[in-house]
Structure 1
Amino acid sequence: MITNKNNKWAQIGYSWLSMKTWVKVWLIWLNLVLWSAAFFLFDPIAQYTLLSLIPAFGIIVAIAYYYGGLVRLLGIGHLIPWIPLLIYLELRFLTDLVGAKLTYSDRPLFFIWAMLLEVSLGICLLLDVYDLYRWFRGERFVLGTRAAYQAKASKLSRQLATR
């Protein structure tokens, strides 16, 4: 086990482990939906979805590294690439302005995945906006720290308790 409290990568790991269970389950679900795009590379939606992971990951890792753990500001990493993706998805479901309109009858499995993607992104972005609101309101603690635990935002991490 890594015990060096100055190791930011370890701190990020401890911060992840301290998250509430429902948040971890949600993030696993979200990533399963996003990475499932690899099965549908015949359509630009899947290609754009996978491409959107690059800036999302980069922004999130940079913020988490800077703060030495997970903070509510991380939501910005989803807003930047996924708002345009969600708009594109909506246009594909409702019109043929940016590509063939999505219909269940053409490709049922792809249609279901695209619907799951749309709903998952929508929920994620709502949660992210709420987290950002809370960040700008002053909830700037790192998950796993004593401050996060006292705010009932996460479990207490022994490794981060002194922060």
Structure 2
Amino acid sequence: MLAPARREFPQSSPLVLESTAATAYLECLQQLERLHRLMHDLVKDEFERLGRHDLNPVQALILYNLGEAEVSAGELRSRGMYQGSNVSYNLKKLVTMGYVHHERCDLDRRSVRVRLTEAGQDVRQIVLDMFHGHAAQLAVSGVLDDPPLDQVNLQARRIERYWTEQIRYIY
């Protein structure tokens, strides 16, 4: 079997690095990292304000992303982009704490399906209410209008699609 072709990236010449597009892309990557960390801090602060110290932000966001669905851990990983061992560990903790119900799939006994319990739904609602409050405040301030957030989301989906294609290209 032939080894997969190695991807060649353009050499980083000063002209490439100074280009407006490359600079904006690198800034976008840094901003995404900061936003992700800040979202975790916001969730942590909200739960501390409510006196809820039993969940960490990752666990609360797993409950939020699980939503009304009944899914396998693999599906949750692909939807929420959680790392494999991280999501497995946190799901086990959430089951133990009574936030998630799990059962073996009838068709494939190796697969476990998970869904929120009533307590898990309550946590999801806390996070959802917090996000709705943020959206309302940002809408009033006009932050979501320039550029329109739907255009920002479209661009993010395009970058996501490109990254996904890059990962598939490797394998």
Higher relative contact order by CA 8 Å / sep ≥ 6: 1 or 2? 1
TM-score strictly above 0.5: no
TM (norm. structure 1) is 0.33
Instruction: Decide which structure has the larger Cα Rg and report it.
Output: 2
If each structure's strand is expressed as a fraction of its own residues, which one has the higher value?
2
